[in-house]
């Protein structure tokens, strides 16, 4: 069984925490690796953003990352990549003509666009995961949305013309229906969490004596709601906020959003209780999460959101915006507390409730571990993905899929 994955801007090899490196990178890397462990041959096609990168790099058993030359061999913001998708598609078509996959799984809208152009003439079935929808981004960001104008039309095309769509949460299903997707072609397959890395036992990061600790792990972009978390901190004396994400810790303030957040903290009088930890290595994230009394995930909108799952798997309660995928993953009153987006006063109230009741925090933490383990392992996500692949491929490939499952 051969599966091609296309993830044009989100390489599974990328360091996390940058402006365009986050949940999609994790999803593609983990899903490809789990399929590879089951004997499925996976090639992940991503755009080459460094001239020193070899064309192909092994990611693990049966998984190869293919660096496609398309546009300059340097980092380019994803919202500026559309002009290079024709060259990307041409290279995909050449690759698949030489080594035909049984199915292509495209991740993000530009990947889907390039995939349709390359795969349709070859008769290869295409499955689409959007990870984020332009119509939702435009609704919440308005004039600040830097997506290419063509995005909305392309997403409508993909919703109608691909052979199937994998939505990452139930909220996305309603959006896809409005885009013209037939519900019998849409399957909900969530993102997963690495339960070997994110677990309740293990070391916890050092804390500041005498202070409660809140943690945010996020890319430093405005819509992630980190400013709302800082504003809430002003109502929470005796509490510190650690923010992981962005550039390296020694260079984090070169980021305009980091400077905005620090200026906000200074304006509110909480600068001494806010720490920008910068980008963390993956292995350093669980100790930071375990050091927290609560993890804050309060974006304006969120297609899925992996950090709440990681916090739950570490046994830490989550204060989460009631948006997108967070509605599915975080059970209000069970594994955390839902708050309306862009409401710092609600965040502060939720945190006060948790900090005042250690037993409640412990119960929610234990429930979070159980929920993460029972529903969001990558093994379970791979099972659901393979089940979605099966109707789209040939009989021999179906047999291989069944064997993998």
Please give, one letter per residue, the 3-state secondary structure of 229-272. Answer: HHHHHCCCCCEEEEEECCCCHHHHHHCHHHHHHHHHHHHHCCHH
For residue 166, give the nearest of 46, 37, 397, 325 by alpha carbon: 325
Give the total number of structural domains in the chain.
2
pLDDT of residue 246: 86
Same-domain status, 279 and 319: yes
DSSP element (H, E) containing 56 = strand 56-60
Inter-residue contact 206 to 233 (CB < 8 Å): no
pLDDT of residue 18: 46
Same-domain status, 87 and 218: no
Q: Is residue 69 part of a domain?
A: yes
Q: Is residue 177 part of a domain?
A: yes
Long-range contacts from 359-366, C-beta under 8 angstroms, 24+ separation: 360/317, 361/293, 361/294, 361/317, 364/317, 364/334, 364/335, 364/336, 365/200, 365/315, 365/316, 365/317, 366/315
Same-domain status, 158 and 272: no
Same-domain status, 233 and 280: yes
pLDDT of residue 228: 98
Domain carrying residue 270:
212-375
Q: What share of the chain is helix, strand, coil (3-state, %, to 5)?
A: 45, 20, 35
Same-domain status, 217 and 180: no
Q: Which domain CATH number covers 115? A: 3.40.50.2000
Same-domain status, 326 and 381: no
SS3 of residue 181 by DSSP: coil
Same-domain status, 252 and 361: yes
Q: Is residue 268 part of a domain?
A: yes
Bridging pattern class, strands 41-47 and 56-60: unpaired
pLDDT of residue 144: 87
* pLDDT tens profile 307-329: 999 999 999 999 999 999 999 99
Strand spans (E) along 113-218:
126-129, 164-167, 186-188, 212-217
Q: Is 197 exposed, middle or buried (0-12, 13-18, 19+ CB in 10 A)?
A: middle
Same-domain status, 332 and 223: yes
Same-domain status, 178 and 231: no
Query: In the chain, which residues have pLDDT < 50?
Result: 16-20
Q: How far apart are CA 363 and CA 312, in angstroms?
A: 11
Same-domain status, 131 and 240: no
pLDDT of residue 398: 64
Angle at 66 between CA 198 and CA 92, to 5 degrees: 125
């Amino acid at each position: 069984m051969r599966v091609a994955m296309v993830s044009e801007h989100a390489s599974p090899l990328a360091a996390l925490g940058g402006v365009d490196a986050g949940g999609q990178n994790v999803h593609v890397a983990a899903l490809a690796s789990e399929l590879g462990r089951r004997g499925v041959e996976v090639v992940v096609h991503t755009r080459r953003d460094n001239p020193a990168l070899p064309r192909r790099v092994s990611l693990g058993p049966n998984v190869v990352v293919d660096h496609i030359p398309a546009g300059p061999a340097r980092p380019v913001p994803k919202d500026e990549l559309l002009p290079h998708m024709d060259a990307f598609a041409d290279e995909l078509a050449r690759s698949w003509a030489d080594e035909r996959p049984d199915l292509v799984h495209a991740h993000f809208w530009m990947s889907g666009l390039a995939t349709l152009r390359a795969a349709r003439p070859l008769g290869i079935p295409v499955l689409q995961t959007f990870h984020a929808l332009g119509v939702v981004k435009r609704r919440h960001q308005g004039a600040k949305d830097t997506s290419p104008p063509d995005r909305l039309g392309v997403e409508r095309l993909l919703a109608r013309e691909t052979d199937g769509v994998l939505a990452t949460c139930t909220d996305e299903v309603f959006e896809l229906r409005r885009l013209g997707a037939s519900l019998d072609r849409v399957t909900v397959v969530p993102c997963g969490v690495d339960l070997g890395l994110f677990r309740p036992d293990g070391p916890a990061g050092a804390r500041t004596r005498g202070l409660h600790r809140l943690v945010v792990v996020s890319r430093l972009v405005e819509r992630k709601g980190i400013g709302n978390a800082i504003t809430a901190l002003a109502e929470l004396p005796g509490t510190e906020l650690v923010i992981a994400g962005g550039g390296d810790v020694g260079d984090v303030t070169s980021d305009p959003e980091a400077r905005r957040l620090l200026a906000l903290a200074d304006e509110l009088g909480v600068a001494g209780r806010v720490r920008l930890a910068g980008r963390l290595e993956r292995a350093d994230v669980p100790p930071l999460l375990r050091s927290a009394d609560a993890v804050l995930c309060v974006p304006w909108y969120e297609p899925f959101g992996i950090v709440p799952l990681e916090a739950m798997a570490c046994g830490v309660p989550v204060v989460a915006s009631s948006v997108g995928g967070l509605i599915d993953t975080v059970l209000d009153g069970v594994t955390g507390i839902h708050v309306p987006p862009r409401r710092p006063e609600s965040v502060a109230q939720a945190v006060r409730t948790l900090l005042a009741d250690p037993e409640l925090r412990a119960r929610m933490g234990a429930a979070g571990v159980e929920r993460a383990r029972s529903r969001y392992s990558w093994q379970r996500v791979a099972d659901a993905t393979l089940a979605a692949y099966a109707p789209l491929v040939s009989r021999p490939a179906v047999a291989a899929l069944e064997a993998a499952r």
